Amino acid sequence: MKKILFCEKIYSRWLILLIDQLIIIFALGASLMIIQKADFNEALSNKSLLCLIVYDVIALGVFVSMRIHTGIIRYSSVDDIFRVFKAVLLASLLFGGINYLFLSPNKWFVSMLIVNFFISASMLIALRIIVKQLFHYLKDLEVVVKEVLLIYGADRSSLLIKQGLDSSLEKNFEILGFIDDNPDKRNKHIEQKRVFGSASIPFLKNKYGVEKMIVMEDCPDIEGRKLAIDKCMECGIRVISVPASNYWLKGKLKLSQLPDLKIEDLLQREPIHMEGENVKCELKGKRVLITGAAGSIGSEIVRQVLKCHPQLIILCDQAETPLHEMQLEIEDKFKANNCELFIVNIQNYSRLKNLFETYRPEIIFHAAALKHVPMMEHNPSEAVLTNVFGTKNLADLAIDYEVEKFIMISTDKAVRPTNVMGASKRIAEIYIQSLQNYQTDLVHRTRFITTRFGNVLGSNGSVVPRFRAQIEMGGPVTVTDPGITRYFMTIPEAVQLVLEASAMGKGGEIFIFDMGEPIKILNLAINMIKLAGFTPYTDIKICFTGLRPGEKLYEELLNETEKVAPTYHEKIKISNVIYYPYVYVKRKIDELLALSRLNDDNEMVRKMKEIVPEYVSANSNFQNMDVVNERTGDLMDVSVQPGL
C-alpha cells in the first residue's frame, strides 16, 4: 500500500479533481443532514438533490478555472492551502447568489451554506496536509541513519532553505533548528523548529551529533555568520553554502550537491557598496579593450564591463582555451553580440598595432601579465618582455591611436620589490606615469591610470586552490613560513574598485585599495582544513617549506616614502609617488630590453635594480648583487653607480 500511494509517481490531476469533487459532494450532503437534523426524507428531496447538483457544477467550474487540481499534493504550501480556501469561498458565494436568483432557497439555506463552507474547506485542506505529512513520514522511514543539520538565520531566506530541503527527494537528513543571535528570535520556533543562539552550537553538537550547518551565500548579517561559522569550525561541524533561491533548480535543494563553504566566503569583509553610475557613464557606448581577458581579473572585468553596455568589447589574450571558454560563458550568460576575441602576445608590437587599427579602442584595461613570483625569478627575461615591453607596446599604441584612458592593473609586489616580477611591474608603473607628463604638446592626451592591490582569492595561482587540492589528497598542506602574511580581496570586489578608480582617474594616479587587515597564511590553511571537516595537525598535517625564491614575509601597498591622498570613495586612496622624466625612463627601458634579448639574466636584473633602487632581492640567486650598508645596516644595490 505504501509503495502504491507514496511512490515517486505523480498522479493525474484529474484524479485529484475527482477526489476533491467527492469531498465537496460529501460535505454538502453532510451539511444538509446536520441542518435537517438527520431527516433523510427532507435531505433526499428533489430540491436538496438539485442544490447538490448545482453546487457541484459550480465548484467544479471554480476549481478548474483556479487550477486547484494541478497542484502536487505532497508539495502543498501555505499558498496552495490558501488558494483552496479562496476556491471554496468563491464557490459558496456563487452558489448562494444563484440560489437566491433562481431556486427560491428555504429558510435553512444560509445555515446550510455556512456549515458546508467550513466542512468542505476543512476536509479539502486536511486532505493536503495529511498527504503531505504522510509522504514525508514514510520517506523518513526509508532512511535509518540521518545527518543532523542546522540552518543559519531565522528570516525568510532561512525558511526558504528549510522548505527547499523539505521538498527534496533526499531525506537522509534531519533539520534540528535554526541559529540566530537576535534576542527577539532566540528560543522561538519556526515551523516547529527551534531557534538557537550560536553559543548553543557546541551543546547541540555533543547532544544531537550535528554534522553540518547551512548558510545562505548572500546572508546580510556578516558578523553573526562569522561567529556561527567559527563555532562550527571549533566543533568540527562542516559548513554548507547555499546560493540565492532564484538559482535553485525548480525551487528545490539537493543536499548532496550543495558545496562546502569556500574560504573566500569566510574571509569576506563587509561588502563594498557602489552606485556604479560613474562607471556606467564612463563605459556606456565605448569601445573597450581588455588584455588578459581570459585570466582571473581580466575575465571578471569583462563580466562587469558588459553590464555597462559598451559599444564593443575586445577580449585580448594569448591563452587559446581559456579565451574560448570565456567566449562560451558570454554567449550563454550574457547573450552578448558586441564582443570580439583577439589572440595576441602583447610582446608582438605589429600584431597589437593591427588590433588597434581594426577596432580603435577608446578605453583599455591592461590586466595581462606574468605574475608567478618563483617562476619569474627563474625566467626574468620573460617577465621583462611581457610586463615591461608588453605594457610599453600597449601604452605607446594608446597614444598613437588617441585612446581616452589606459588603466593598468598592478600589484602590491611592486612596492619595495624583492623579486623580478614585482620589479618588472614597478618599471611598467614608472613608464606609464612618465608618459602621462610627456604628452603636454599633444592635442589629445591619453590618461594613464594605475591600480595597485594585493592577492585576490580564487585567482589563477592563488594559494587557496593549492591548499584545497592538498586537503583533498589527504595532506600535507605546505606553508612556506609560519609568519608569512598577505592581503586578500575577492575578485569581484577588486574589479569593482578597479572600475570605480578608472572612472575617477584624471591621469597619472596610482590608486591604492583598502585591502583590510593582512591575513596569516598559516591561519588560512588551518581554517580551510577545519572547513573541510578535518582536524589540523591530526587529520591533515601542516608542514613548512621555507620562503620561495623572491618571496617575502609580508607585502606592502605603499613605499615608506609614499604618501596617500583620499578620494570620494573610502576604499580608494591615491599614492603620491616620485615621477621620473620620460626621456630618462625610455632610455633605461631600452637598455633593459636590449639586455633581455641577450639572455644575460644577471646583467638584466642589475639594470632593473638600477631603474628601481629600492629593489632588493630576497631568497634569490640575485642576492649577491645587494650588499649591507655598514653604517646603517640597510641593504643596498651594488650595481647602482653614483650620478645615474
The number of C-alpha atoms within 13 Å of 422 and in the hemisphere containing its C-beta is 29
pLDDT category of residue 638 using cuts at 50, 70 and 90: very low
Model pLDDT, residue 321: 92
Rounded Cα gap, residues 620 and 418, in angstroms: 9
What's the whole-number mean pLDDT along residues 459-475? 80
In which residue are the cell numbers 641577450 written? 598
Distances from the Cα of 296 to the Cα of 50, 217, 330, 376, angstroms: 74, 21, 15, 19
21-25, 48-52, 137-141, 156-160: the lowest-pLDDT one: 137-141
Q: 580, 609, 589: which is closest to 430 by C-alpha?
A: 580
Model pLDDT, residue 45: 59
pLDDT category of residue 108 using cuts at 50, 70 and 90: low
What's the whole-number mean pLDDT along residues 343-367? 95
Model pLDDT, residue 246: 55
Model pLDDT, residue 410: 92
Report field, pTM of the whole predicted structure over 0.75: no
Model pLDDT, residue 634: 45
Q: How many residues does the chain have?
A: 644
176-185, 480-489, 524-533, 625-634: the lowest-pLDDT one: 625-634
Percentage of the residues of the chain whose pLDDT score is greater than 70: 79
Bridge partners (DSSP) listed for residue 454: none
Distance of CA 252 to the CA centre of its chain: 20
Q: Is the pLDDT of residue 284 over 80?
A: yes
Q: Is the pLDDT of residue 607 over 80?
A: yes
Residues 6+ apart with CB under 8 A from 622: 377, 420, 602, 605
> What DSSP string runs through 287-306?
EEEEETTTSHHHHHHHHHHH
Kindly report the average pLDDT of the chain as a whole number.
Answer: 80
Torsion angle of C-alpha atoms 17, 22, 23, 28, degrees rounded to 10: 130
Q: Taking the CB of residue 133, how many other CB atoms lie within 10 A of it?
A: 11
* pLDDT, greater one: 268 or 305: 305
Cell reading at 310: 559598451
Model pLDDT, residue 333: 84
Secondary structure percentages of the chain, helix, strand, coil, to 5: 50, 15, 35
Rounded Cα gap, residues 114 and 110, in angstroms: 6
Residues 6+ apart with CB under 8 A from 1: none
Rounded Cα gap, residues 294 and 324, in angstroms: 8
263-272, 377-386, 541-550, 628-637: the lowest-pLDDT one: 628-637
Q: 601, 600, 611, 599: which is closest to 637 by C-alpha?
A: 611
The number of C-alpha atoms within 13 Å of 629 and in the hemisphere containing its C-beta is 8
Model pLDDT, residue 270: 59
* pLDDT, greater one: 342 or 442: 342
Model pLDDT, residue 338: 87
Q: 98, 15, 6: which is closest to 50 by C-alpha?
A: 98
Active site residues: 413
Rounded Cα gap, residues 596 and 602, in angstroms: 10
pLDDT category of residue 343 using cuts at 50, 70 and 90: very high
Where do runs of H (alpha helix) occur along 178-221?
201-208
Helix pair 46-65, 78-98: axis angle to 10 deg = 140
Domains within the chain, CATH numbers bracketed: 2-141 (no CATH), 147-261 (3.40.50.720), 277-582 (3.40.50.720), 583-637 (no CATH)
Model pLDDT for residues 213-228, shown as the tens digit of each residue: 888 876 777 788 888 8
Bridge partners (DSSP) listed for residue 340: 314
